[in-house]
Amino acid sequence: MTGAPQAQSGGAFPSTEDHRWMRRALTVAEQSLFVSNPNPRVGCVLVRGGRWLAEGCTQQVGGRHAEAQALHEAALQGVDVRGATAFVTLEPCSHTGRTPPCADALIAAGIERVVVGLRDPNPKVAGRGIERLRAAGIRVDVGLFAEDVVAQNPGFCARMTRGTPWLWLKSAASFDGRMALPDGRSQWITGDAARDDGHRWRARACMVLTGIGTILADDPMLDVRAIETPRQPVRAVLDTQFVLGEQARIINGDPVWVFTTRPDAGKAARLSARNVRVIVLPADNQGGLSLAALMRWLGEHEINEVHVEAGARLQGALIQARLVDEWVAYLAPSILGDGQGLAALPAPVEALDQAYRYEFLDVAHLGRDMRLRLRDPARWQALAEACGLKRE
C-alpha cells in the first residue's frame, strides 16, 4: 500500500479516524484475496461514534459482497447499525448482477455516511452507486487510499478499463539470471520458502499460464499445493500447433484451457471429456498465436489476473509485446554460469535506450532466497489514470 490518500472527487478531507478505519477496510479486503475472482477484493467496516460494529469482505462469486457481508455479520450479533459510517474500499454497486445492489442495502440499513476508497471502474457502476447513496441523503466521501485499492485489485481494474487482465511473470533464477542448466534442469534453483510463496501467487490469480515447451520439458501440474486455498485457478497452455500430449499431468480432471491456432476436432472432443477446453485463436504475422488476441479473449471471459510460469521464449515474447504488467522474480544466491536465461526476446535490444524497463516495488527475504517485485511504470500509470487517479 502507498499509505497516501488519493483524491478522486468531492468529499471532505478525511480525518485521522477515517484513515484508521479505511486502512482496516483494506486489511479486511485482503481476506478475499483467494476467493473473490472475478469480483474485486473489497472490504467494508461499519463504525459508529468511533466504535467498531462489524466488518465483511467479498465472498466467493455468487455470495455476499463486502457491504452485505458486514451487514449480515452485524445482524448475526444483534448490532443496530443505524446512523453508522460504512468504510468501503470500492464504491457500492448500484445494479443487480449475481447479487442485489449493495447501495440499496446500505440505504435500507440506515447508514448515515459512506467513505469510499475508489470509484468503481466497472461501467455498470461508475459513480451510480455514489449517486444513489447521496440521493437517499447519505453523505459520501470518495478517494481515501484510492491508489491502494487499485493496487489491491489491478486485474479487476485493468479488465474494466482496458478490457484485458493484469499479467505478471513469475520466475526463479540464479544470481546470474539463469532459470535452468544448459540441459534444462531447474529443480530446484530456489528453496522451499520461495516455492511456497510462489504457490501463494498462483492461488490469487484467475489463471496460471504456461507454454507448451514447459509442458513438454517438465510435465508440471501448475496447481496450488503448498498453501490452503478454497479455489484452484484455471490452468492454461499456449500450444500453437496443438501438440499437447493427452497423458500430460496437467490434465487431471480440474479445468484446463488450451489455446491454439490448429483445431483438431477429434482431439478436442477427447480432451473435453476430461475437462479440457480448447480455444482456437488467430495467428500473428509470424505464424504464432496472437498474444494480443489471447489477452482480449481472457478479458472477455472474466479473467482478472494472469500468472505466467513459462520458459524464456514465451516470457520474451510477452515482454516484447509489452503485455507484462508485473514481474515476481525469485533470486537464489548461486551462480550457474552457462544456462538458460530469463527471457529470449524475439528481436534483440540493440541500444540501451531500447531496453524494456521496470521499477522495483519491493524486496523480500524468503529463506536463503530473495523475491523481487517489478512493475511496468507506464502500464501502471495508465491504469491509475483510467481509474481516475491523478498523476502526482
CA dist 92 and 106 (Å) reads 9
The H-assigned helical ranges of the chain are: 16-29, 66-76, 102-109, 128-135, 146-152, 154-161, 192-204, 212-218, 265-272, 291-300, 312-320, 377-386
Of 302, 298, 386, residue with least CA distance to 98: 302
CA dist 61 and 42 (Å) reads 13
The H-assigned helical ranges of 77-127 are: 102-109
CA dist 331 and 189 (Å) reads 9
Our CA angle for 108, 73, 141, nearest 5°, is 55
For 151, the 3-state DSSP assignment is helix
Segments of 288-380 assigned E as strands? 305-308, 326-332, 340-341, 359-366, 369-375
Asked if 116 contacts 91 with a C-beta cutoff of 8 angstroms, the reply is yes
Single-letter code of the amino acid located at 50: G
Angstrom distances, CA of residue 180 to CA of 145, 343, 385: 41, 12, 39
Of the candidates 17, 30, 67, 131, the residue annotated as catalytic is 67
Active site (annotated) includes residue 228: no
Residues designated as active site: 67
